[in-house]
Amino acid sequence: METTISAPHETEILDPRTDSPSVPADPVHISPVRLGPITVPTPVVLSPMAGVTNWPFRVLCEEYGPEGLYVAEMITARALVARNPKALRLCRFAPQERVRSLQLYGVNPSIVEQAARIVVDEHMADHVDLNFGCPVPKVTRRGGGSALPWKTDLFAEILRRVVKVCDAADIPVTAKIRVGIDHEHETFLEAGHIAQEEGCRAVTLHARTTAEYYGGHSDWSRIGELKSALDIPVFGNGDIWGAEDALAMIRQTGCDGVAIGRGCQGRPWLFANIRNAFEGRPERLNPNLGEVCDVIWRHAGLLTQFYDGDERMAVHDLRKHIAWYLKGFPVGGSTRKAFMECESLADVRREIDRLDPTVEYPERVIDKPRGRVRFAKKVHLPYGWLDSRVTTHEERETLFGDDPMDASY
């Protein structure tokens, strides 16, 4: 059996960018953030996103953006320990990536520690982030992701073990969290303090609960609460769709930096706009269709390298990105369908060449929400998960005997 929590009813939430008359219009002062031996000159983070932030997409974002952190998509600890080929592929970094940032996920402290040791021993990364923010049911129903900080003993043990391994190699560890399971079971303040006490160098807060999933507007005030409570840097995450959103979040919360997720899907140039905004410059990049197609074509080539020359795998990966790149452009359903049926680079080139490169970027989608915006129908948790803040012997046997995500992908 498992515990389920109903999601809240979706209600209209005031946008923090506009509902506060106290937001100043003066420039935002942004200071570099130091994570142990790593200095992040402009504290902007590409959030790890499953199926999105492999190295080809990270390279595109970093080429547009400032010297921030561009984090690889989540690596399942057990898969890495088992030397799963897909996990190992996802651990690859391009030579031009300035800081190799890798995110690990797991529930079993021993397995996550082993994965961290592999990262250290094989010099895989310069920075390790730990995922405690994933809200998807297949993760939370087994106690992982955003469900895990509820069990403070398990949360602290994973952090402690990974920090110990990584500290020996001078690799900073950070953590990604949510506000809590729901508003009756919030964990972010306690989790932030535990992360700080266990040696994490920074915390990123997605300002929603698990029950809120990606619905409504994230509550940026919680980021301000966490920033006020901690001494380590706090990065804010949630509903940054444009450069002005990034500025507004820092003004309102005092956070040390921002983490960008869905807002950059199909828009790697968002990082250029944020860089300009943080430098006090008014220029904003909104490319026309020809320029967007140049990005699509470059992305296709990078993905082909990522898949060791396998064009079919590269183009299949590219399909979701093309849907995001073309969002709002008046290209027609038949064109979108044709792109979704591409099987080779030649197919992609053919469809690109059929488009009118002079079409301007559609104003109606500039700095507007993208990606998943729905509420979760319910939160799935292990049976009895909310009965106690610490794990019982029986819970650990159940969780670790049948790891929440196996060694496959």
Q: What are the residue numbers of the active site?
A: 134
> Do 68 and 42 form a contact (C-beta atoms < 8 A)?
yes
> Do 243 and 272 form a contact (C-beta atoms < 8 A)?
no
Total residues belonging to the chain: 409
C-alpha 400/C-alpha 184 separation (Å) is: 27
Neighbouring-strand partners of residue 39: 34
C-alpha 128/C-alpha 104 separation (Å) is: 7
Beta strand pairing status for 202-209 and 173-180? parallel
Q: Which residues touch 19 (CB under 8 Å, ≥6 apart)?
A: none
Q: In the numeric block, which tokens belong to residue 223?
A: 């980021």
CA nearest 77: which of 170, 35, 139? 139
| Cα radius of gyration (the chain) | 21
Q: Which residues touch 367 (CB under 8 Å, ≥6 apart)?
A: 241, 242, 243, 244, 245
DSSP state of 357: T
